[in-house]
Amino acid sequence: MAKSKTRDCNVAMIGTKFMGRAHANAYLKVAKFFDLPVNPVMHTVCGRNAEQTPAFAERWGWKHASLNWKDVVKDPEVDFVDICTPNNFHEPIAVAALENGKHVACEKPLAASLDVARKMRDAAKAAKKKGAKTFVWFSYRGCPALGVARDLVSKMGPVYHVRANYLQGWAGPDTPLVWRFIGKVAGSGAHGDLGAHSIDAARFITGQEVTEICGSIENTFIKKRLIPEADAGNIKGGHVAKGAKKMGKVTVDDAVAFLGRLSGGGMAIFEATRFAIGNQNANCIEVNCEKGSIRWNFEDANILWYYNAEDDPKRAGWQRIMCTDAGHHPFAHAWWPDAHIIGYEHGFINLSSSMFNVIGRKKPEVPVPDFEDAYQTQRVLEGAVLSARNRTWINMKDVK
């Protein structure tokens, strides 16, 4: 077989659990479904566990396994470092990788605090001058329906409302104290975990920024939780020893809701919670504009609801768009015939295709957020926290 002329892009990934699996799957599939200007190679996976990490490498097809991220980010063979670790552990890896001239993809939220996010943004700015690209895994941008929403909203005149609520319900009193409840690791709770996706989706779809936070409320419903022996590698997991009684303090929010103004003059309402019992992963957004509206819920990810205010009133109503049309919907060309629907993992595969397009200087199908973008999202997270804690309105110009 003739050897491909496409240049290799050696990927190293740090973290092997929930996102580690989602990203490994993306690297495994992306070049099979998309024509890319570079060829992603699963070079090294890095974890903490001496038995599980080589097993993970073998299972997913990584060439090498490492237990030391400091070696990985310096490895001259590595081109692209992907960070799938808890939030407080994004920055040291990202900054070291950027200083070594690597492209860096980092999970969201960018950091556990705005100060740290700023450091990462600055490191990315400096590295960009030398050609390094940064990406942040706001993975829902990889859902075709959100790209369609973005296109429709750009043609519907002024944006009046963004109504974004990200509702999960897994964090009841029996859920143990996994890292997502620990402030110094996660930075925040539902706010940074879920709200960050909503803020990014609002920025992505409308192209606007939040300019003012006009009130915010945060709450921690369950103040103490059982301490697990170890994280179980899923969101609410954590092995709690039988009969264990040792409790630890929850140091993040369980829910945050806030109001904001948008740069185009519209209003935005955001709500993120892990206590919307009965909801599992209801990442919802509605945008109302002069000439119509869009509405989306990830639990029905392939469907975008669209209302065209210019329709003949006799037949006006919400249209249900199946976003799987290869000729018209982003990423759909890579997958299956119409309405042969795609799922959660495809968002990651799709977004990674756009990352490799950026690296290979080909136009991405949707814009991929970089560290500057994710820093803007982190500013909004911070503004909402300041508003809630100070019980005041926040002008986003004051949040730097």
Count of residues that interact with ligand NAD, criterion CB under 6 A: 22
Q: What distance lies between CA 113 and its chain's CA centroid?
A: 16
40 touches ligand NAD (CB under 6 A)? no
What are the angstrom distances between the C-alpha of 168 and each of 16, 236, 298? Answer: 23, 11, 12
Interatomic CA distance for residues 11 and 45, integer angstroms: 8
**Regarding beta strands 103-106 and 80-83, do their DSSP bridges make them parallel or antiparallel, or are they unpaired?**
parallel
Q: Which of 16, 44, 165, 188 binds ligand NAD (CB under 6 A)?
A: 16
User: Considering the complex, what minimum distance in angstroms separates the CB of residue 338 from ligand NAD?
Assistant: 26
Q: What is the DSSP letter of 239?
A: B
Q: Are 104 and 135 in contact (CB under 8 A)?
A: yes
Interatomic CA distance for residues 286 and 164, integer angstroms: 6
Q: Of the ranges 8-16, 202-210, 217-225, 362-370, which one interacts with ligand NAD (CB under 6 A)?
A: 8-16
User: Considering the complex, what minimum distance in angstroms separates the CB of residue 75 from ligand NAD?
Assistant: 15
The continuous run of DSSP H or E covering 31 comes out as helix 18-33
Q: Are 259 and 373 in contact (CB under 8 A)?
A: no
User: Considering the complex, what minimum distance in angstroms separates the CB of residue 93 from ligand NAD?
Assistant: 8
Q: Which of 11, 13, 24, 84 binds ligand NAD (CB under 6 A)?
A: 84
89 touches ligand NAD (CB under 6 A)? yes
Q: What is the DSSP letter of 216?
A: E
Q: Which of 17, 29, 191, 379 binds ligand NAD (CB under 6 A)?
A: 17
20 touches ligand NAD (CB under 6 A)? yes
Q: What are phi and psi of 256, to 5 degrees?
A: -140, 135
Nearer to ligand NAD, 264 or 367 (CB): 367
Nearer to ligand NAD, 15 or 266 (CB): 15
**Sites for ligand NAD among residues 185-244 (CB under 6 A):** 193, 231, 233
Q: Which residues bind ligand NAD (CB under 6 A)?
A: 14-20, 47-48, 69, 84-87, 89, 107-108, 137, 139, 193, 231, 233
